[in-house]
């Protein structure tokens, strides 16, 4: 494809950006709160890959709003200098996002947060202190000081965060701003704080230093809608206070829309972003699940924006631009928008990536530094799921002679089953990519090959990696009440999720019971499927909430919303378990001591922790010079851990 726009340079204030590809600001928690070598490496590798502009994660401008990067960090200037030196050879522009969380924030001294009015945030934090005029002036000044510090440190621009329910948007929002002074009431009054911040920032820096703002409709009734964002942008333009406008979507009341999962389509934010960018005369940025330069180029040619955010895409593969320029688009590792490693990882402590083990580990696992092994080895890998394929890919890259055995007639393992769930077909994209890569690197793939220890040893391997996966454990044991196995599990209408999805969705009747003893997406997806197909589903789980292990990945609310609109019905029973499965109904009881009751259940699906297939590993133990076990065979978990273990096991050879 001939790119007409996305690879063209663009000027923002005095900064020439080499192409229209942007990594929008996103929290990482890499580096433990400072501009560390790890965080610098994360950005530098993506600069090396050809990104045109990176907007660094939020910099807190004031102690009443803590974040990973903070204005009161004395090491920040030295960190900035080191970062700019690291990215300089690649021409990537660097802007810093300036931020105050308002009532969504945590203060340095533990005092209540500051906000326009005493309106609590949706996350349940302390009731905020309504800001006095002196507090407002203090925050306005802190934004200006932050901008000046960024210019002095050698960055190319700043973006003031006026979206996602943070302080500037809180002043704009009639839902949150209940003031009766000059900062509340009419739109002009509610916009006063934003204008004062932007005037102060503009005055604090030179005309060549880029100053922009991030805006977003918040998707709440009575909140900051598209028209209000247009009005805000026009006020800023009228005073020449912005050199660019970055448009996003959502706030903490609509969190899943801020970072849309795989159920969202390419450019899902365009319908709400384009009406705003259409009224903006300075360069504009939009985002929303763009994964390829073809998609980005199309959006620019459509007039939807001047630059395109491809943030998660570059978390998955930092080399999208360089690979595309080289005509190697088929080698780009796809983002599957599962949100497990990026958003979910962030809440767990540090950003990562489900499909890219390098992310967050750049100093240790830079894939440009995989190198060639000193002595090529014969490596046998048993199992062609994600862990096995990643091991095969890395071992082949290292120059080893790799044989991969897979018992099934196709590669992919359990990801092929997961992809059968509603809206989850995109999860298989990483399996397709890995399959193409191992064939490209010359791996000897032997499908429909169930091998035993003798057949493996007959290959005379120097190293064996066992990636045989796991199987459903249909023993009726529930983690909450292990001494009381479910009675009646041998009935033909009792299925595992694998049975349900691989046997033609052979569920019966109009009612179903789904047991979730795992807390991940598996049972949620099964319920979604059954409800879509007209079943009345009772969802039984010992956990205190629905699918808690994917709450941070923003998966739970979208599936609940889909089921609420589906043909069947959905009933959620938390802190409950199954006692007995009958022919037509199921006996349910609390996990604690309490009375049982029956619900209709003509089909029952049990989602419990799988059993690892470790027999082959145990048989080979002591018979191979090098033996490793990875993925679900090691311990049934998620695809991120499977790919990571396959990667590091092969890299060590």
Main-chain dihedrals φ then ψ at residue 40, nearest 5 degrees = -60, -45
Alpha carbon distance 484, 130 (integer Å): 54
Q: Which of 641, 539, 351 lies closest to 547 in space, CA to CA?
A: 539
Per the residue annotation, which of 42, 166, 521, 617 is the catalytic one? 166
3-state secondary structure of 187: helix
Residue 8: count of CB within 10 angstroms of its CB: 15
- In three state form, how does the secondary structure of 602-617 look? CEEEEECCCEECCHHH
Distance, CA of 523 to CA of 425 (rounded, Å): 16
Annotation says 90 is catalytic: no
* Cβ atoms within 10 Å of 417's Cβ, excluding its own: 18
What letter does residue 131 receive in the DSSP assignment? P
List the end-to-end C-alpha distance of the chain, in Å, as a whole number.
39
CA distance linking residue 344 with residue 639, whole number of Å: 13
Residue 568 is given by DSSP the state S
Nearest to 352 by CA among 25, 28, 47, 638: 28
What does the alpha-carbon distance between residue 344 and residue 350 come to, in Å, rounded to a whole number? 9
Q: Are 60 and 66 in contact (CB under 8 A)?
A: yes
List residues bridging with 470 in a β-sheet: 612
170: its two tokens: 């809180």
Decide: 47 and 90 in contact? Cβ < 8 Å.
yes
For residue 286, give the nearest of 311, 261, 320, 265 by alpha carbon: 311
Q: Which helix (H) or strand (E) holds 65?
A: none
**Which SS3 state, helix, strand or coil, does residue 225 take?**
coil
d(CA 476, CA 104): 43
Contact criterion met (CB below 8 Å) for 276 and 298 = no
> How far apart, in whole angstroms, are the C-alpha atoms of residue 582 and residue 62?
61
Is the alpha carbon torsion for 52, 57, 60, 64 positive or negative? Answer: positive
What is the set of active-site residues?
166
């Amino acid at each position: 494809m001939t790119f007409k726009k996305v690879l063209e340079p663009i000027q923002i204030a005095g900064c020439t950006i080499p192409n229209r590809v942007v990594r929008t600001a996103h929290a990482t928690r890499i580096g433990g709160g400072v501009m560390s070598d790890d965080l610098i490496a994360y950005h530098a590798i993506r600069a090396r890959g050809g990104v045109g502009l990176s907007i660094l994660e939020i910099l807190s401008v004031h102690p009443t709003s803590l974040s990973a990067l903070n204005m009161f960090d004395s090491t920040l200037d030295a960190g900035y200098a080191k970062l700019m030196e690291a990215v300089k050879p690649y021409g990537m522009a660097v802007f810093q996002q300036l931020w105050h969380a308002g009532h969504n924030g945590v203060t340095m001294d533990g005092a209540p947060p500051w906000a326009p009015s005493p309106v609590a945030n949706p996350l349940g934090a302390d009731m905020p202190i309504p800001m006095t005029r002196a507090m407002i002036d203090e925050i306005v000044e802190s934004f200006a000081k932050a901008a000046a510090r960024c210019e002095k440190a050698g960055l190319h621009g700043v973006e003031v965060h006026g979206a996602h329910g943070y302080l500037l948007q809180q002043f704009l929002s009639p839902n949150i701003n209940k003031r009766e002074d000059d900062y509340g009431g009419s739109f002009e009054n509610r916009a006063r704080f934003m204008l004062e911040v932007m005037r102060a920032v503009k005055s604090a820096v030179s005309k060549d230093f880029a100053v922009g703002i991030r805006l977003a409709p918040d998707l709440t009734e009575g909140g900051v809608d598209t028209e209000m964002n247009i009005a805000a942008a026009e006020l800023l333009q009228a005073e020449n206070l912005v050199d660019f406008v970055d448009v996003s979507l959502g706030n903490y009341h609509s969190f899943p829309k801020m970072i849309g999962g795989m159920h969202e389509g390419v450019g899902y934010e365009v319908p709400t972003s384009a009406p705003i960018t259409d009224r903006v005369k300075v360069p504009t940025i939009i985002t929303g699940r763009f994964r390829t330069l073809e998609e980005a180029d199309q959006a620019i040619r459509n007039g939807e924006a001047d630059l395109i955010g491809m943030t998660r895409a570059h978390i998955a593969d930092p080399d999208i631009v360089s690979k595309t320029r080289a005509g190697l688009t088929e080698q780009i590792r796809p983002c599957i928008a599962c949100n497990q490693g990026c958003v979910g990882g962030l809440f767990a402590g540090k950003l990562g990536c489900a499909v890219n083990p390098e992310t967050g580990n750049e100093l240790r696992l830079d894939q440009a530094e995989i190198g060639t092994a000193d002595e090529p080895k014969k490596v046998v890998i048993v199992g062609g799921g994600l862990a096995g394929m990643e091991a095969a890919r890395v071992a082949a890259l290292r120059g080893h002679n790799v044989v991969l055995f897979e018992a099934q007639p196709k590669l992919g393992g359990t990801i092929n089953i997961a992809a059968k769930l509603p809206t989850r077909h995109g999860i298989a994209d990483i399996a397709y990519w890995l399959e193409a890569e191992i064939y490209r690197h010359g791996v000897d793939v032997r499908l429909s090959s169930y091998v035993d220890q003798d057949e493996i040893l007959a290959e005379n391997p120097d190293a064996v990696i066992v990636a045989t996966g796991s199987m459903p454990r249909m023993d009726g044991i529930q983690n909450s009440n292990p001494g009381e196995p479910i009675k009646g599990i041998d009935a033909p209408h009792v299925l595992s999720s694998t049975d349900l999805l691989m046997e033609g969705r052979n569920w019966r009747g109009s009612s179903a019971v789904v047991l979730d003893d795992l807390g991940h997406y598996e049972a949620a997806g099964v319920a979604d499927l059954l409800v879509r197909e007209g079943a009345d589903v009772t969802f039984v789980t010992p956990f205190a909430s629905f699918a808690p292990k994917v709450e941070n990945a923003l998966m739970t609310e979208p599936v609940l919303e889909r089921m609420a609109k589906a043909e069947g019905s959905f009933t959620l029973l938390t802190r409950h378990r199954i006692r007995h499965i009958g022919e037509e109904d199921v006996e349910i009881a609390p996990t604690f001591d309490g009375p049982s009751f029956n619900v209709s259940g003509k089909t029952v699906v049990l989602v419990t922790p799988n059993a690892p297939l470790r027999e082959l590993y145990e048989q080979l133990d002591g018979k191979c010079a090098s033996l490793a076990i990875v993925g679900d065979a090691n311990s049934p978990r998620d695809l991120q851990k499977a790919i990571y273990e396959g990667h590091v096991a092969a890299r060590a050879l």
